[in-house]
Each structure stands twice: as structure tokens, then as C-alpha cells.
Amino acid sequence: VTERGRAALLALAVGGRGLVDPEEPVLRADDDALLRGRAAFETLRVYGGSPFRLDDHIARLAASAERLGLPRVDPDAFRELTAVALAGAAAPDASLRLYWTPGREGAGRPTALALVSAIPPHLEEVRARGIAVVALSLGIDADRRQVAPWLLGGVKSTSYAVNMAAQQEARRRGSDDALFLSLEGLVLEGPTSNIWFREGRTLHTPALDLGILAGVTRDTLIGAATARGYSVAEGAYELDRLVVADEVFSSSSVREVVGVVAIDGSRVGGGAPGEAALELQQALRDAAAG
Amino acid sequence: VTERGRAALLALAVGGRGLVDPEEPVLRADDDALLRGRAAFETLRVYGGSPFRLDDHIARLAASAERLGLPRVDPDAFRELTAVALAGAAAPDASLRLYWTPGREGAGRPTALALVSAIPPHLEEVRARGIAVVALSLGIDADRRQVAPWLLGGVKSTSYAVNMAAQQEARRRGSDDALFLSLEGLVLEGPTSNIWFREGRTLHTPALDLGILAGVTRDTLIGAATARGYSVAEGAYELDRLVVADEVFSSSSVREVVGVVAIDGSRVGGGAPGEAALELQQALRDAAAG
């Protein structure tokens, strides 16, 4: 997406070692994270020095690790590592990424990493204008990932090559991001975000049983929207429903709430970020401020 | 699979640095290979000090890199790196893995790695008894990956978490390996191998336009089988066809030719490695000897 670029790595903490110079190599060549993309990860936002909903992110990391067959995640160890990394960066607003790799092939010595990076530049410009997305099929039937755990639906692993290739395809088509559809054409999620649309005072977002990621920000917004008098529905939606909706927006931890102003080259929601996107972005910031 | 375990890393060569102690960390925490599984790789067999069909593997690495949007692969650099790594290992028979990572996030400084590892133990025992596989659906329709390049069909990236999860599921069910099916039930490939079956003097293997990996060993066997008087057909096959075939086997660079003796708990091919598997394993060794 357009705000991509070098997200300057401000601080790095490594399990068992504490703060480590980000310039220092920390993974061996035969780490399973490199060899097979078999590491669990989380990305979260740090507001005013506090990682937002850290425990929920660590819980999801633990669930991903279990599904990937990795050693058990110790939540306390990740909380400590996070504190070390954040103290090392001294950036009140930042992006925090947590990684849990199984370690060297066959050795069974996992590694925990906490990376603090600068917020990508131009994010507020992107939020002001909104993004254009293209719908790309994942080619998988919507019910499949519920019954086929090996497809890792809802698991946040570092095997993100398809997600990145989809974003690349979107940019090749002159858009900012991709929106994944199921085989049947049901709307699923973005490569790194959840998707929403508004019809009057009702907000809709795809249901988790479609095998999508259970976004922590998605969950925050469900609560915030309900508290502000919206009805929130989780369901299975055709793309057409979004095209004619009052507005469309995406949610993710670092990019937060961003309006979607075009789908497949056609304007949606009047071609500008909508009122719910603006209101929920503010609500998210309020929630983060405590 | 049963022969998994610590594949002892014998030597490591890193682009621009030459031979590096395998104990030394070489990747930074913000390498895209870790962050997003967006690296291209190849695995090949070294016979008597010579990497088998190295140029073909490097060509496939270059094709994978292009599809992943990575910087262009320099074949000469990989040939040199391979020579350095092999000289450092001094193991006449080994497994060689080549990696091409895009480097640190946003920095655009890719890294080439060549890893020489011991051949996994117990491989000949596995070959003597054959393996049991379970059929697992990928949930993708068979034609999809041809028209949806972002799904990375036929691309060898390090985003292998689903492949590993499928092998894990297979072991959970008491088998050795998985066999991927399309949504329609067509046989595709194993997580790290191609699949074959024999009917009389005809060998069948799934066609590349199903979005499967174009195995270098698969290609070697097509030539070797034809030279030995087999007909070789590439097509789209239902699983039932394999269940009643005269024999079933898999091919891959390091495991080479291994008979499949059970599918989903039912004996296939008489429950023992078949004659074509044995003959083609010998043919592969002859080709490697040269």
C-alpha cells in the first residue's frame, strides 16, 4: 500500500538477551522462520508509550503458535520483552511487532522477538483521502477453512507471501490495497486488515467463521460502534453489497480506520472517507487514551 | 514426515561474505524473509560433490523471485555461492538449499544464502518400506491458480506454513505425509513433492497447469521413464484413480523417489514400493552419476 516504505526499526528486544542493536543479525540461516515461514506474529499500535490491547494480541499469538505446532507462548515473557523493547525505543507512538519463531531446524529452541518501528509515514494523508482497493479471489470456498485446520484460517503466521503478492497486484492495477473474496465471491478481508461497510446506522463486517483473522481492532470497533448507537452485524456478504453501501472502510492495528473510496476502479461511498470511519477512528483513539 | 529431524547444517555461504560459521546469526530481525515469508528458495541434492541440475534450480529460483517481486536473481552469483558452500562442507552427498531474501524491510538489499545440510537420516529405510499419505484439500478450484497469479501457484516461496501444517495433520492421523487435492478432488502434489501413479506401462502425474510446482526431479523422471519405455501422461486425476493404480510414488530432490503404500489408511499398489519407483530411483541415481 502507498504508505509502505522503510518502517525505521527503532528498537529490538530478543528473548533471553534483552535489548539488542537492530543492526545486529539475530536469526541463524536455518531458523524455521526463514526456511518455512513457520513463525507466529502480531502487529500492534503503541499510543503514548502504551501498547494497545497487548494481552489480547499475546493471546492471539499463543493461539496462532498452537495451530502452527510451535512451542507454547509464555505471555509473561512477551509482556516483559515488550516492556524492554518499548523502554529501548522511547517513541511514544510506534508500531510494535511480536514474533515467535520455532528456532533452528529440529533444534526446538524458540526465539521471541519484539520490534518497535516508526509509524509508516503519510498515514494521515492516506486516511484523509481514503484508499482504492481491488477485489481478488482467494479461490477458496467460504466454509472450507472451518473444516480444514491445515489451511490455517485465522492464524497469523509469517507465511504472508500471498498477502504481499495480492498487494503487489493491487498496486499493479493502480490501486492501494487488495480485498480478498472467497470462491463464491463473498467478501473476506484485506491482506493486512478487516473490512466494513455501512448501510444507514448499521455497520456490517464479515463473520469470523469465514476463516478470516479475528482483528483486535475489529473487536474494539464492534464495541465502540455499538456504544455510539450503531447496530453491528457480522455476516456473509457479496461484493455488490459494498459497492452500493453508504460507506466502506478497513480496520487494522497500525493503519487504524481508513475509508475505502473505490473498489475495482468504481467510486464507493461518495468517493471520500465516510462519517462512520471518521467517528470510529476518533473512538479508537479515545479508547487508546483510556 | 518420519525422516524429519535436525538436518545438521554442515556449511553456510552468504552472498558477499563467502563461507560463514553456521552458528553465526546472519539475518536481521526486520528481514522480509522473517516478517512476511517473502523469500524464494530451492532445495537440491548433491551427489558425489556435484549439485544435481543446479542451473535448472537457479532458473526456477529466478522465476520465483520475479513472481514474488524480489530483485533479479544473478545466476552466476548463485553458482559461485554454491561452490563456496560445497567446498566448505566437503560432504560428497548432501542437501543444498538456496535462499534469496529481499533483505531488511524497505531497504532493498537482498541476501543470497547457500546452506549445505546432511541428508536426513533413515531415508533409505523410508524408501524401503514406502510412505502412507492422507489426502487433504487445499480448497482451491483446479483452474484458479492459472488466472490468479497472486495465489503464487508454482512459486517456491518460504511461505510454507500451510505445507508444514498439512504434514503435521498427516502425522496426527498416523500417516507420513499429506497429498493435496483441489476443491473438486483432483490430485495436485505433496507439500514438498510431486505425485505419480502407474497403470501398466503408463505413468501418470498431475499436469503443471493445475498450479503445482514444476519439480526438477519430476522433469528428470519424465525423461528417464520415457527412455525406459514407459508412456508418461500429465493430466487431471481424481484420487480414486490412484487408489486402484498398480503403484503410486512421490518424487522430490532430496527424498528422491519414494513409494506410496497407503492413502487415507487404505493400502495402495499392494502395500509395498512398486517396480517403477524402484527402477526410477535407480535411473535418477544413474542420471546423477552421469
Name residues of chain B where pLDDT drops below 50. Answer: 1-4
The answer on pLDDT for A1 being more than 90 is: no
SS (HEC) of B217-239: HHHHHHHHHHHCCCEEEEECCEH
Which residue of chain B comes nearest to A107, CA vs CA?
Answer: B6
**Chain B, 195-254: which have a CB under 8 Å from a chain A CB?**
none
Q: Which residues of A touch B27 (CB under 8 A)?
A: 25-29, 31, 34
Taking the C-alpha atoms of residue A161 and residue B68, their distance in angstroms, rounded to an integer, is 7
Asked whether the whole model's pTM tops 0.90, one would answer yes
What ipTM was reported for this prediction? 0.94
Sorting pLDDT into bands at 50, 70 and 90, what band is A4? very low
pLDDT for A154-170, tens place per residue?
999 999 999 999 999 99
Considering only CB atoms, which chain A residues are within 8 Å of B119? none
Interface test with B, best of A30, A147, A186 (most B CBs within 10 A): A30
Q: Does residue A184 belong to the interface with chain B, where contact is any CB pair within 8 Å?
A: no
CA distance A5 to chain B (A): 5
Taking a contact as any Cβ pair under 8 Å apart, which residues of chain B between 3 and 42 contact chain A? 4-7, 9, 12, 14, 20, 22-31, 33-39, 41
Q: What is the DSSP letter of B210?
A: G
pLDDT of residue A139: 94
Contact B6 A106 (CB under 8 A): yes
Q: How far is A268 from chain B (nearest CA, A)?
A: 24
B122 at A interface, C-beta within 8 A = no
Instruction: For residue A106, give the chain B residue with the closest CA.
Output: B6
DSSP string, B116-172: EEPPPTTHHHHHHH-EEEEEEE--B-TTHHHH-GGG-TT--BS--HHHHHHHHHHHH
Q: Are B201 and B246 in contact (CB under 8 A)?
A: no
**Cα angle A175-B212-A152, degrees, rounded to a multiple of 5:** 65
- Tell me how far apart the alpha carbons of residues B152 and B41 are, in angstroms, rounded to a whole number: 14
- Are the Cβ atoms of B27 and A25 closer than 8 angstroms? yes
* CA-based R_g, chain A, Å: 19
For A20-70, how does the pLDDT look when each residue is reduced to its tens digit (9 = 90+)? Answer: 999 999 999 999 999 999 999 999 999 999 999 999 999 999 999 999 999
What per-residue confidence (pLDDT) applies to B6? 58
Predicted pLDDT of residue A2: 33
| Cβ within 8 Å, pair B136-A117 | no
Question: What pLDDT is recorded for position A121?
Answer: 86
Q: What pLDDT is stored for residue A6 in this prediction? A: 57
pLDDT bracket for residue A8 (50, 70, 90): confident
- Provide the chain A residues 124-163 that lie in CB contact (below 8 A) with chain B: 136-141, 144-145, 148-152, 155, 157-163
Q: Do A6 and B105 touch (CB under 8 A)?
A: yes
Q: What is the pLDDT of residue A106?
A: 80
**Rounded-to-integer distance, Cα A146 and Cα A142, Å:** 9
Q: Which candidate from A31, A39, A160 shows the least CB-CB separation from B38?
A: A160
pLDDT at A13 over 70: yes
Taking the Cβ of residue B109 and every Cβ of chain A, the question of whether any pair is shorter than 8 Å is answered with no
Query: What are the chain B neighbours of A34 within 8 Å (beta carbons)?
Result: 27, 31, 33-34, 39, 99, 101, 158
CA distance A22 to B37: 19
Interface test with B, best of A150, A164, A171, A173 (most B CBs within 10 A): A150
Torsion region of B252: left, alpha or beta (phi above 0 gives left; psi -120 to 50 gives alpha): beta
